Amino acid sequence: MRLASWNVNGIRAVAGKGFIDSFKEINADILGIQEIKALPEQVPDEIANIPGYKSVFYPAERKGYSGTGLYYKESLNPKIELGFGVEEFDHEGRVIKADFGDFVLFNIYFPNGGRGDDFVKFKLRFYDCFLDQVKELQEQGREVICCGDVNTAHKEIDLSNPKANSKISGFLPEERVYMDHFAEAGLTDSFRMLYPDKAEAYSWWSYKTFARERNVGWRIDYFFVTEGIKNKITESNMLSDIMGSDHCPIFIDLK
pLDDT of 94 strictly over 90: yes
pLDDT of 115 strictly over 90: no
139-149 residue pLDDT tens: 999 999 999 99
Cα gap 71→31, rounded to integer Å: 5
Say if CB 83 and CB 90 are below 8 A apart: yes
| Amino acid identity at 94 | R
CATH class of the domain defined by 2-254: alpha beta
Residue 174: what pLDDT? Answer: 96
Strand partners of residue 70:
32, 56
Say if CB 6 and CB 222 are below 8 A apart: no
Residue 209: what pLDDT? Answer: 87
- Cβ-based neighbour number of residue 79 at 10 Å: 10
Q: What is the dihedral of CA 248, 225, 76, 101, to 10 degrees?
A: -160
Of the pLDDT bands very low, low, confident and very high (cuts 50, 70, 90), residue 151 is very high
Q: Taking residues 80-106, what's their average pLDDT?
A: 97
* Sign of the dihedral through C-alpha 175, 128, 248, 236: positive
Known catalytic residues are 149
Nearest Cα to Cα of residue 7 among 185, 155, 236, 219:
219
Say if CB 33 and CB 4 are below 8 A apart: no
How many helical (H) and strand (E) elements, i.e. helices and strands, does the chain have? Answer: 8, 14
166-192 residue pLDDT tens: 999 999 999 999 999 999 999 999 999
State the angle between helix axes of 173-184 and 117-139 in degrees (0 to 180), rounded to the nearest 10.
0
Residue 36: what pLDDT? Answer: 98
Torsional class of 202: left (φ above 0), alpha (ψ -120 to 50), beta (otherwise):
beta
Of the pLDDT bands very low, low, confident and very high (cuts 50, 70, 90), residue 73 is very high
pLDDT of 116 strictly over 90: no
- Cβ-based neighbour number of residue 141 at 10 Å: 7
Domain residue extents for the chain: 2-254
Residue 245 has, within 13 A of its CA and on its CB side, a CA count of 27
Q: Taking residues 4-14, what's their average pLDDT?
A: 98
Per the confidence metrics, is the pTM higher than 0.95? yes
